[in-house]
Structure 1
Amino acid sequence: GSEIVVPRDLARPCDFLFMRIVCAQSKFGVFQTYFFCSLKHKYLYFRCVSIYKMVKLTPELIQQAQQYTNPVRDRELTLRGYKIPVLENLGATLDQFDTIDFSDNDIRKLDSFPLLKRLKTLLFNNNRVSRITENLEESLPNLETLILTNNNMRELGDIDVLSTVKTLSTLSLLGNPITTKEHYRLYIVHTLPNLRLLDFRKIKQKERDAAQRLFKGKRGANLIRQIGQKSNTFVPGGNIPEKRVAPPKDVEAIKRAIVNAKSLEEVERLTQMLRTGQVPGGAGEKEEMMEVNGH
């Protein structure tokens, strides 16, 4: 919103309005602008606040959304910033796009995709995605890139459904709680062997070797069962898990680790730990570093 201050003696009689509402109805939602007027001391304060309500993903919205050829010469459809809650009506794209951008919406589950043979890239930055449907490869047989930066993926086992998407080569889970899990990167490398880029970092051969050593044999199978849990499906009326709050001494430990971090990826991971109350430097984390280094 924005605010304008006018001296009281310069205000016209028509300015003495308490509130005025302007509504613009579109096919996709309602855009409301509120004009507030208040008197304080010798000045009038005018405040303008605009609110765009959540919209439905309709065929009309898809047809009127921005379409263009992006810098890598792919046809892209931009559906970002509409606060769309649910994926639907994607058959209206007529399979004419290589990339669809769903960034800055309110999507919680990746599902309801029709058969889109041309689609190669999906961008879901800044949503609330916590679940991915099974057999995604049946609807998106040529999916190569899936960007889920800043979402709500929590458990390592929730990524297992992507193991059947053999075409997937690039995946980003930065800014998700899952990135703070023990053995996170090695688990993803092991589960998705065709992946080439994880969190915008190339997967090196030594990481693949470390993942193979860590998860081989009976010990590795037990470790997979232990850490590869899946998120529980929320039942209406059920208890919502409480957010963990780290003790002050652990918060200080995380902050010190951030200061001593040697890469941007490590800073991102530690920052996520700070948000979720997890402490770096545990036994599991040290073991993983030894595996990567080949010890």
Structure 2
Amino acid sequence: MSEEQWTREREAFLSLPRLAGRLTAELILRSPQGLDPSQDYAIDLRANKIAAIENMGATQNQFDAIDLSDNEIVKLEGFPPLSRLHTLYLMNNRIARVGVDLSQQIPMLKALYLTNNRLKNLADLDPLKSCRRLTHLSLLGNPVSKNPDYRLYAVYSLPALKVLDFRKVKQAEREAAEKKFGGKDGLKAREAAKTFEVGDVGVGGGGDAAGAGESNVTGPTPQQLLALQAAIANAETLEEVARLENALSNGVMPSDFQI
């Protein structure tokens, strides 16, 4: 399926009436699926008012990427073992908890986009520690990102992480994270950091009016991410590759970039 066909089918699907309801096998089977611009086999389950992840066995472990953005999901769990899946888009949901079995359910997970959700505390990130292949993570627009220790804690907890909130993880950050949280001396610092409380500022949750200023921090959309990845693959010069990779890492789309 070409990128043009993918876009056309997705637009036709999104024009259908949306029913508040469940993620059923029928919905999965009739949702747009095919090669996305980055040549991953993907399924688009956006904007279906889904409240819980279920019946994902109907995907038959066929997909590299799944887009569940713009729904009403409150908990990141409920996947069967999906050994092929490596990228999850979950922007603009109500996710306040990550299941402890996520790494067993999605052992190859390397990219997780949770922009604009409701994770509040650093302890909410702990289930991700066992996701050993996780290199790209976005928690922009989550209350936890207001914790002053958030970035260093995430870098310490996720050693494979390369890009956090569309910013490259620098060696200096790794060293600072290890110094603060590493070893026995860092145990107290880790526990103290977890006690920092952030009020529910209304971010995420599919467009709540409260906390509108925070929800403006969105980062690239899934479509922009895919388009950037495809452009990098097709770039003809090293300078263009460097420019596009910088945009991908920083989450800032080039002014001349068109999808």
TM-score, length of structure 1 as denominator length: 0.60
RMSD between superposed Cα atoms in Å: 2.4
Verify: 1:157 aligned to 2:123, yes or no. Answer: yes
The one-letter amino acid of 1:126's match is: N
Contact 2:74 2:95 (C-alpha < 8 Å) held by counterparts = yes
How many angstroms does 1:54 deviate by? Answer: 1.2
Residue aligned with 2:177, SS: helix
Q: 1:217 to 1:163 in 2, by over 3 A?
A: closer
Q: Distance in 1 between matches of 2:52 and 2:119?
A: 17
Structure 1 residues not aligned, in runs of 5+: 1-29, 32-51, 232-240, 245-266, 270-295
**Stretches (4+) displaced over 3 A:** 216-219, 241-244
Matching residue within 56, 60, 64 for 1:94: 60
Q: In 2, are the aligned partners of 1:157 and 1:230 still within 8 Å (CA)? A: no
**Which structure has the bigger radius of gyration?**
1
% identity of equivalent residues: 43
Question: In structure 2, which of residues 95, 98, 105 is the aligned counterpart of residue 132 of structure 1?
Answer: 98
Q: Is the 8 A contact 2:116 2:140 kept in 1?
A: yes
Q: Which residue of 1 aligns with 2:148?
A: 182
Give the drift of 1:136: 1.4
- Structure 1 or 2: larger helix share? 2
**Alignment partner of 1:171 is 2:137:** yes
CA contact (8 A) 1:113 1:139 kept: yes
CA distance in 2, matches of 1:243, 1:149: 15
TM-score of the two chains, using structure 2 as the length reference: 0.68
Distance change (3 Å), C-alpha of 1:141 and 1:53: same
- Compute the displacement of 1:131 (Å): 0.3
Note if contact 2:147-2:196 (Cα within 8 Å) is conserved in structure 1: no
Equivalenced residues, count: 190
Residue 52 of structure 2 aligns to a residue in which SS?
Answer: coil
Give 1:53 deviation, angstroms: 4.0
1:34-113 mapped onto 2 (5 Å cutoff): 52-113=18-79
Q: What is the rounded CA distance, in whole Å, between the counterparts of 2:93 and 2:125 in structure 1?
A: 17
Matches within 5 A, 1:1-295: 31=17, 52-229=18-195
- SS of the aligned residue for 1:92 comes to helix
Once residues 217 and 73 of structure 2 are traced to their aligned partners in structure 1, the CA distance between those partners, rounded to angstroms, is 23
Mapped to 2, the partners of 1:146 and 1:88 lie a distance apart of 18
Which amino acid is the alignment partner of residue 183 of structure 1?
Answer: D
- Specify whether residues 158 and 242 from structure 1 end up closer, same or farther in structure 2 by C-alpha distance, changes over 3 A only: closer
Report the CA distance between 1:160 and its aligned residue: 0.7
User: What CA deviation, in whole Å up to 9, does each residue of 1:121-148 have, x standing for no partner?
Assistant: 0000000001010031211111110100
Instruction: Indicate conservation of the 8 Å contact 1:158/1:229, yes or no.
Output: no
Closer/same/farther in 2, CA of residues 83 and 173 from structure 1, 3 Å limit: same
Moved more, 122-131 or 211-220: 211-220
Quote how far apart the aligned CAs of 1:170 are: 0.7
Unaligned runs of 5+ in 2: 1-15, 202-215, 219-259
Deviation per CA, 1:164-205, whole angstroms, max 9, x where unpaired? 110111100001000000211001001111111100111010
The residue identity in structure 1 corresponding to 2:149 is: H
